[in-house]
Structure 1
Amino acid sequence: MELDIELYVKTCLVCQQDNGLTQKEAGLLQPLPIPESPWVSISMDFITGLPKVKGMGSFFVVVDRFSKYVVFMAAPSTCIAEVDVDLFYKNVVKYFGLLEDIPLTPHEIAKQHSGGTCPAAYRFSIKKQKLMQEAQDSLLKAQRRMKKYADKGRRPFESQVGDKRVGVMAYKLKLPKRLQIHPTIHMSFLKPYHGDAEDPTRNEARILDKKVTGYRKGGNMITYYLVKWKGAAESEASWEKASTLWQFEKEVKAFENILSTRTSASSGGGGLLGALRVADDGMRNWSAWTASS
């Protein structure tokens, strides 16, 4: 019986949606490659939510991943792409050049300026090259140490047949069109779905009622549907947010159609008799469905 209960809970749709995983986070740490010299690889981000000073309410931050040199640039609270590019050129490219010009080593730069005949320039370039090599080795050592400790709280995650993997740490999902989000999701936010092989229709549901809460003017209205799950008593029906019922889109549309038909019938499209006919048809369909449940 213990195994049956475990399997039932494991294949329950509501349980899979609401319960969190007790396993380690999916996906091992994948460090970025170590740059070979300064200003070859950079990272950019914004610090927002700051009090406005002279029209500026955020910081545009650029970090050189090799030297850890940071450039802070005051930016508007809503910073458009054109402003980002202008700030980047005036505060980064102006002093450090374009990224394509950076990969030259100090030794090569010294040769270009001295023709390779200046011993002092050569010694200086060799010294700087050694310092950069030591810095690169230190970064690599720190990266390995970070990965070692980070992976203690993580687990490998392998794709299945039919999954579309993007890079090493993400998957592209086939999402409903109404969800206005990017379909590529990091694997740490995913978990496998377990269907019931013995009863594939066990997670079917029927919509019984609808309610809307919140304030219309504030735009914070939330729609709930009363859901009767197949195999469960009507007294166990639960109110679920509309946003969590995306997999029951057909059932929601069917209920909305019946609801709109009832509304039109009671407001003049057939009068009371039409409303009673619609209600009677709905009860017949409901009785047939509950009998099969």
Structure 2
Amino acid sequence: MEETVIDDKWIFLFVYPLFVIFVCHVGNDNTLSQLLRLPSYYTDIVLAIICTYTAGIYWKKLFAKLDKRFDWYSNLKQRLIYQLILGFVLPILVIIGIEVVYLFLIDIKLSESAIFYLDLPMIAVLSLLINICYLFLYNRAHLMTLRNTNELPSSSSFQENFVVKLGTVILKIPIDEVAYFIIQEKITFLVTIEGKKYIYDFTLEQIMKKISPKEFFQLNRQVIARKNSIVKCKQTETRRLEITLTPNLPEPLFVAKTKSTKLLTWLNKY
């Protein structure tokens, strides 16, 4: 099965930091000024961050593997069983085990700690929440894939030849010879895989209705590229993608960061 791309950055940016704050402060009778004077407060924070984000990376990789291994229909029961054991129970046991060792190292008895009546429930809630979030994200991605597949027209409905102009000459270019369409100085051009350039009197919006979305992708407002013409994608410092096409363009070609994930999903999917 192909790998499904989901957006789980918000979990690392918002959910995990909030959990670290909660676990270090909920149930603590000391004021913030008192906590700041306690050396154990800082070690508690470090331990909470390490455990939370290590578990977060584990969850991210686990759910990606489960999604590739188990189909949503034929293997849903097995998927949920693995997720219950590996995604819910195992992280709780490991984190609690680490916390028990930590308490032993700082010489605090289990009977004097809040590990079982406070920390354990919070960790269980976090584990349950993350499992639900990833189930939702992967299921939504799966449903969107099905919807997009069902909405795709049949291949027979796409244009197979393009009539172009070369001066006063009219030519017919087969779809297999097209590399990309590009707008330059408000004129639309068809560029072939051999690097030949022809005027094509249609807008990019009109062109997208004529071609297969499995084969072509609109990179920006100037370029629609065939999949085979995309040689390389390089992420820039601004998180845009710099695209290298063949035949090569004289100027750099960029895809906005809001469209980058969609492009990478399309490249992996088709």
Same-fold status (TM-score > 0.5): no
TM-score normalised by structure 2 residue count: 0.28
Question: Which has the larger Rg?
Answer: 1
**Structure (1/2) with the larger helix percentage:** 2
